[in-house]
Amino acid sequence: MPDRVKLNEFVVAHSFSDGSGLLIYNTTTDESVLLPCNSVALIQSNPSDNFVICSSDELRDELKKKGMAFEA
């Protein structure tokens, strides 16, 4: 399974500058997930394409299950 998932277009991601975590917010369902920075990394190829690299299958599965991301 690839370690990278693409965030859906209705999802906003914010990486805290202090390295405390990555906040992923679904603007459609008003649901958010806070992930520890040691488990994920946010990659932005352009403003509309955000990818998340996850260290575990469980994190990827959680994001996909909540409709926030899909396999890229």
The tens digit of pLDDT for each residue in 25-65 reads 999 999 999 998 888 888 887 777 889 888 888 989 999 99
- Predicted local confidence at residue 1, as pLDDT: 47
Beta strands, E only, the chain: 4-7, 11-15, 22-26, 31-35, 40-46, 49-54, 69-71
pTM: 0.82
Determine the 3-state secondary structure of 24 from DSSP.
strand
